Amino acid sequence: MRERARYAILFGESDVEQLVIRDLGPWDKYPTVTNDVDRVIADLWLDKLLWEGRRLFYYDSLGARDEILHFGKRFMGFRCGTTQALRHKRCDGGAS
């Protein structure tokens, strides 16, 4: 079994409309949240930190704040931040 992404909850442990997490790494030992997104969503769902309609934002391994789109516990895609200084390949149509 491979390692899981490591992340910290920055905002949203209570009953609010959004949850914000930060990718912790180290990425030479653990996958990024981006690369392990299905399991991250599943874990947050099982821990009752994520539910239908709750928005999930994250600071990725490069420090950019993006949104993880989900339908229930199913990953649907990424919505890239509009104010980030550094654009990602996945935001520009390429692979991450």
Residue 95 maps to a domain = no
* Residue 1 within any structural domain of the chain: no
- Write out pLDDT tens, residues 20-79: 999 999 999 999 999 999 999 999 999 999 999 999 999 988 888 999 999 999 999 999
Q: For residue 17, what are the domain limits?
A: 7-90
Consecutive H or E run containing 36: none
The domain tally of the chain equals: 1
Rg (CA), the chain: 13
In a domain, 62, yes or no: yes
SS3 8: strand
Residue labelled with tokens 């993880």: 68
- pTM of the full structure: 0.81
Check residue 89 and give its pLDDT: 47
H helix or E strand, kind and range, residue 78: strand 74-79
